[in-house]
Amino acid sequence: MSAVLTETRAPQTAPRMALRYVRHGQREIAIAVPVGSVRRIDLPDRETKSAFVTAVLKARCEDGEELELFGQPVKDISGNARAKLRAQVGALSPIVGLINNLNAWENISLPAAYHGKPSLAEVAAITQEVLDTFGIEPRAYLGRVPDELGKLERKIAAFARLMIAGPELAIIESLDDGLSRAECARVAGFEQEYRRRHPGGTLIFVDIREE
């Protein structure tokens, strides 16, 4: 097994799995994450990490992969069932980056404005709370486009968007990537903030294991 589980904090009453993922091949990967837990997963390389995150976000697995989300195997399920599963999953990942021609506020509020829920008032309230938590002044921050934001600021915008979507299963990929030591200390608050908002949610931190 190449996946290294460095930390597991599953509550005792976690009857079912939020995610079960198996990847066959030279480097066998097997991951199982109970509902409501916080788990850190280190994968052997970038390609494996990308395949894992993509499979979960798409609720679809390729040949040589097996994936179950909330106890439901994703192979051969209907389009509607897949869409329902996808709606329960979210990620803070380079795969789901910010849109370059929208400012931070437009990026944060885009999914809610498009899907019509939650309301923009709720989006504004959640955004304000998230920015307050990380000590960011909204007036200067929200009007800037991603190219004018630092790495930490971009991650915070993506995190705020994730909190608004409120997925039952959230994946945070390479959280520390490109951040300074001080910034890493600040993003460590993501876990606490997610837990505060979604006590029953499942949170997975994915990274590449340093050899």
Q: Tell me which residues touch other proteins (CB under 8 A).
A: 57-58, 83, 86-87, 91, 94-101, 106, 110-111, 113-116, 165
Number of H helices, E strands in the chain: 8, 9
Q: In the complex, what is the shortest distance from the CB of residue 175 to other proteins, in angstroms, rounded to a whole number?
A: 18
Which residue's CB is nearer to other proteins, number 95 or number 184? 95
CB atoms near residue 96 (< 10 Å):
15
Q: In the complex, what is the shortest distance from the CB of residue 136 to other proteins, in angstroms, rounded to a whole number?
A: 22
Which residue's CB is nearer to other proteins, number 34 or number 163? 163
Q: In the complex, what is the shortest distance from the CB of residue 101 to other proteins, in angstroms, rounded to a whole number?
A: 7
Q: In the complex, what is the shortest distance from the CB of residue 104 to other proteins, in angstroms, rounded to a whole number?
A: 15
Q: Are 101 and 145 in contact (CB under 8 A)?
A: yes
Which residue's CB is nearer to other proteins, number 113 or number 188? 113
Q: Which residues pair with 166 in a beta bridge?
A: none
Q: In the complex, what is the shortest distance from the CB of residue 113 to other proteins, in angstroms, rounded to a whole number?
A: 4
Using alpha carbons, select from 100, 120, 99 the residue that is nearest to residue 109.
120
Which residue's CB is nearer to other proteins, number 58 or number 198? 58
Q: In the complex, what is the shortest distance from the CB of residue 55 to other proteins, in angstroms, rounded to a whole number?
A: 12
Which residue's CB is nearer to other proteins, number 2 or number 54? 54
Residue ranges with strand state E in the chain: 4-9, 17-23, 29-34, 38-43, 65-69, 72-73, 89-92, 169-173, 202-208
Spatial distance between the Cα atoms of 159 and 191, rounded to a whole number of angstroms = 10
Which residue's CB is nearer to other proteins, number 10 or number 57? 57
182: its two tokens: 């001080």
Pairing state of beta strands 169-173 and 89-92? parallel
The dihedral over CA atoms of 51, 178, 38, 17, expressed in degrees to the nearest 10, equals: -10
